[in-house]
Chain A
């Protein structure tokens, strides 16, 4: 089942200015339910830009983007907000956490806007996810006091909390040491397999990637090719 498709996607930063930069050129991409997909490329090749567009964080692009067969441009801002809440769970390289809030306050954010989980179910859902990620004991700590590994687990918990269909992982382990990175990646992948999630992993390092991915796109010079 096709979840999303991007056709002839192009992205230009600082359009019509002297510093105009073309990052993506006519890239096409299809994501089916259950796919485990890697997008690799050198630093600055446009991987994060691509992920931002796919995750509905960037609306300024050329090309066609459809989600479950419906054009994204036809959605209004409220519908896009619902899609971001229900469909995508995004894990960023630098965690993107609210620094002066506790781990609990960070993890609960998607549930504030969720239609899947009612108010009274929130606590159980958080308990369920944090137990799986083994971060129950740090829930009340401010995230600024947490280690890199703990912060990344909090970010993953937030991405998973609303049970999204697609997990978008933007170099989720690049800030962590090798052992920790492997452990976290293994966890996400096994969680994805167990819960039938669709995963898109963006990375510049394809060396230490487990062999569970069924598709591999490569981004170079703004072009996307299926390897």
Chain B
């Protein structure tokens, strides 16, 4: 068996150019599958948290008149205290902290983040961050009473917090009636951000929050357009991206199979000479498997590097696909070895 493995390595060395082409093709297949899987898993995840029934908006500015900014904020503020969720990037705090700072308003997080005592206060804020900013935070003059939370950020609802970067400062506001104090209202970019990121759930809609929210913008410089972004994206992935990707993957797999069969044809004469000289089919299998196993191992390594060495769903999907490719290649070898007649090969007919 050792000899068979050694011969397998020799085959690999002899066909190194073909090996690299194989590897590139296989890695290409895997990277495409990875990208699509990422997109699909993300979309399915979004659907699993019932985004389909949520309301979101695309904001279109229709005027340069920003004088009604403060009014708009004061109308949106109590509404977001009752339900819905949103966030905006704070320009003032970002400049003070030296890190991008995001302010989140989400009443549904209250139970998770605040004690009863904190909840009883009319206005309250808590800061959560993945960065070590204790010293910096102490020096900043916040608009309202603020404490620095030690809650594990990963416990936050993924719907909002997954979209932030690790080193961003996240400030969660509790029931503020002074949202305007946290926002820069002269230019309207933060209110624009806040409205653009707003989401209401189905129960918010039932409670009349959605209608009330939309009514605020009837005479505003911002016009709301209901966004069906999530559904559009899923539809686009399923209807257009998937068939294209499936075609590309199928083409690459066919190319890989053709290349593999041509490699087998090239090696088959040598295999035949070994069979005549006493090699068993098992030895030929072992020899051929060296090429395939190393091919797949390198591919798996490449995938792992791209995947950050995480054992997640993507890694699982790719592993299963590579395993299928391995068995397909072994099956092809089996068919070639079983079907062909040694003596005919020797006459040069094949």
Q: Across the interface, do B343 and A112 meet the contact criterion of CB distance under 8 Å? A: no
Tell me the complex Cα distance, A52–B3, Å: 26
* Contact-residue bracket for chain A: 20 to 34
Tell me the complex Cα distance, A52–B7, Å: 26
> Chain B, 80-102, contact with A by CB distance < 8 Å: what is the 0/1 string?
00000000000000000000000
Minimum distance in angstroms from B226 CB to a CB of chain A = 68
A58 to B, closest residue via Cβ: B343
B residues in contact with A97, CB < 8 Å? 273
Query: B-side binding surface: helix, strand, loop or mixed?
Result: helix
The contact of A100 among B3, B14, B277, by CB within 8 Å, is B14
Interface residue A125 (Cβ < 8 Å from any Cβ of B): no
A residues in contact with B341, CB < 8 Å? 58, 60
Interface residue A158 (Cβ < 8 Å from any Cβ of B): yes
Q: For chains A and B in complex, what number of residue pairs have CB atoms within 8 angstroms?
A: 67
Q: Across the interface, do A109 and B274 meet the contact criterion of CB distance under 8 Å? A: yes
25-62 of chain A: CB within 8 A of chain B = 48-49, 52, 55, 57-58, 60
* Contact-residue bracket for chain B: 20 to 34
The contact of A110 among B4, B278, B281, by CB within 8 Å, is B278
B residues in contact with A82, CB < 8 Å? 278
Interface residue B205 (Cβ < 8 Å from any Cβ of A): no
272-320 of chain B: CB within 8 A of chain A = 273-283
Tell me the complex Cα distance, A86–B275, Å: 13
Minimum distance in angstroms from B2 CB to a CB of chain A = 8
Tell me the complex Cα distance, A177–B283, Å: 38
A residues in contact with B7, CB < 8 Å? 112
Interface residue A193 (Cβ < 8 Å from any Cβ of B): no
- Interchain Cβ contacts under 8 Å between A and B, 22 examples: A49-B343, A52-B342, A52-B343, A57-B342, A58-B341, A58-B343, A78-B280, A81-B278, A81-B279, A85-B278, A90-B276, A98-B269, A101-B270, A109-B273, A109-B277, A110-B277, A112-B3, A113-B274, A113-B277, A113-B278, A113-B283, A162-B278
**Which residues on A are within 8 Å of B, measured CB to CB?**
48-49, 52, 55, 57-58, 60, 77-78, 81-82, 84-86, 90, 92, 94, 96-98, 100-101, 106, 109-110, 112-114, 158, 162
**Which residues on B are within 8 Å of A, measured CB to CB?**
3-4, 7, 14, 269-270, 273-283, 341-343, 346-348
